[in-house]
Amino acid sequence: MITIKRKYSEKQTTGEGRIGDFVFKTLELPWKDNNRKVSCIPEGTYNCVKRYSSKYKDHIHILDVPGRDMILIHNANYVSQLMGCIAVGDAHVDINKDGLVDTTNSVATLKKIMAMLPDKFKITIYGM
């Protein structure tokens, strides 16, 4: 089970994820009424499965998001790399000095997360 506690802002959504005692940071698009490719997904509890694709390699697919499809948890550093998905990392830092928070060590963080989880599990996302 993953839990993500979000903090919303106008240009992005940051969060803290947990799997047991393991804590990581998340990065998402801002809330824009669940509109495709420009908004984070609604708060709630969702089923997830581990998945592989040539584009994202190992990643997580969040299933049955109302009005959305192909919502993933994958590695990314910048909110500009996201189209509704969730990026993970070990810290929030403004890497490129554009005034927005980014995630660091995303590939390594996702690898740790993938190793900790079964093939099918749940995620709960809620606001602060």
Q: Does the pTM exceed 0.95?
A: yes
Q: Do residues 123 and 50 make contact, with C-beta atoms less than 8 angstroms apart?
A: no
Question: Is pLDDT above 90 for 82?
Answer: yes
Question: Is pLDDT above 90 for 128?
Answer: no
pLDDT band at residue 96, thresholds of 50, 70 and 90?
A: very high
Q: How many domains does the chain have?
A: 1
pLDDT band at residue 102, thresholds of 50, 70 and 90?
A: very high
At 22-61, the pLDDT tens digits run 999 999 999 999 999 999 999 999 999 999 999 999 999 9
State mean pLDDT over 3-30.
Answer: 98
Q: Do residues 58 and 44 make contact, with C-beta atoms less than 8 angstroms apart?
A: no
What pLDDT, on the 0 to 100 scale, is given for residue 14? 98
Question: Is pLDDT above 90 for 3?
Answer: yes
State mean pLDDT over 105-123.
Answer: 98
pLDDT band at residue 62, thresholds of 50, 70 and 90?
A: very high
Domain region containing 46: 2-127
Tokens 């709630």, residue located = 44
CA-closest candidate to residue 73, choices 65, 61, 81, 90:
61
